[in-house]
A = this chain, B = another copy of it.
Amino acid sequence: MNVFIIGLGLIGGSLALDIQNEFENACIHGIDTNENHIDEALELGIIHKKATLNDIGNAEIVIIAVPVDVSLQVAIEVLNIITENTLVLDVGSTKEDICKAIANHPNRRNFLATHPIAGTEFSGPKAALKNLYRGKTNIICEVEKTAFKLQEKALEIFLKIGMRIRYMDPKSHDKHIAYVSHLSHISSFMLGKTVIEKEKNERDIFDMAGSGFASTVRLAKSSPAMWTPIFKQNKTNVIETLEEYINNLQQFKDLMMQDNFKEIYKEMENTNHIKQILNGILLEA
Contacts and interface: CB of A to CB of B under 8 A. Distances in A.
Interface of A: 117-121, 136-137, 139, 166, 173, 176-177, 179-181, 183-199, 202, 204-222, 224-225, 227-229, 231-232, 235, 238-239, 241-246, 248-250, 252-253, 256-257, 259, 261, 264-275, 277-278, 280-282, 284
- Do most interface residues of chain A lie in helix, strand or loop, or is the interface mixed? helix
Given A176-B202, A216-B187, A137 B208 contact: yes
A180 B193 contact: no
Contact of A249 (B136, B185, B246): B246
Nearest to A250: B246
16 contacts: A119-B212, A120-B211, A136-B210, A180-B195, A180-B209, A180-B210, A184-B191, A185-B212, A186-B252, A193-B271, A194-B245, A214-B281, A224-B272, A228-B268, A235-B259, A246-B246
Contacts of A195: 179-180, 183
Contacts of A272: 220-222, 224
